[in-house]
Amino acid sequence: MNQTELHRRLREQYGPWAVVTGASDGIGRAFARALAEAGVHLVLVARREVALQSLAAELSGLGGEARVIAADLSSDAGVRRVVEGTADLPVGLLVAAAGFGTSGNFLAGDLDEELTMIDVNCRAVAALAHHFGRRFEAQNRGGLVLLSSLLAFQGVPRAANYAATKAYVQSLAEGLRVELGPRGVAVIASAPGPISSGFATRARMKMSMAGTASEVADGTLRALGKMGTVRPGFLSKLLEWSLATLPRWGRTRVLAKVMAGMTRHPT
């Protein structure tokens, strides 16, 4: 499928407006740009309003509209702000890309930060998927893009809580796909491997190899409506292939060694 066909399919199947959370940086920003290039109007959601306004001005040059909603999705108030701020728009696509990770031994980490990660990576995703899923079901058209991870398919020492949050997202997407598919709503879990973005800095990780956020956005949008889970980019596919023959406990052991090499701070 060439870019022109992809852009037409996105507009025809998912309508004129999309909501992208985590839009100020990394994967969310890449999704926002890809959708703007397809001619889809955008609701850009993140905590940093200045960064969102800058992105909105940048994307306006592509001809579409952009609405900015500054919201902290770790709070119920932030989720409500997104729900209320999109009530008047014919939204047909949700890209739930907001999220963050931590690394290091779980017991050595800050509990408040770990619980906040659950709120952003799981609670907010569930709330927004529930709200927009109902809207899409009522209009018999729509799509939910939920950001999983290569780490979602087994326990991962030194990223135990982060991997657990992504396991939740992966399972949620798989179940919702079966529930909502007959009602015209496409659901996909995007499970990338290491990506060059601000995520690694916040998680205090170093990556010798990493894919790009644009690979994730393009690969996911191409697979939306066709697959239940996509591992976008060559590196994600290579890593998944290398782990596929191992039992779950074996993948955990291998990733323990990988994470030990990627985390900067001591145990």
Positions marked catalytic: 162
> Are residues 52 and 70 in contact, defined by beta-carbon separation less than 8 angstroms?
yes
E-assigned strands of the chain? 17-21, 41-46, 66-70, 91-96, 142-147, 185-190, 229-230
Phi first, then psi: give them for residue 190, nearest 5 degrees.
-100, 120
The span from the CA of 211 to the CA of 36, in Å, is: 22
- C-beta atoms surrounding 98 within 10 Å: 29
Quick one: which of 232, 129, 231, 125 has its CA closest to 185? 129
Q: Helix, strand, coil shares of the chain as percentages rounded to 5? A: 55, 15, 30
The span from the CA of 151 to the CA of 174, in Å, is: 16
E-assigned strands of 54-141? 66-70, 91-96
Phi first, then psi: give them for residue 79, nearest 5 degrees.
-65, -45
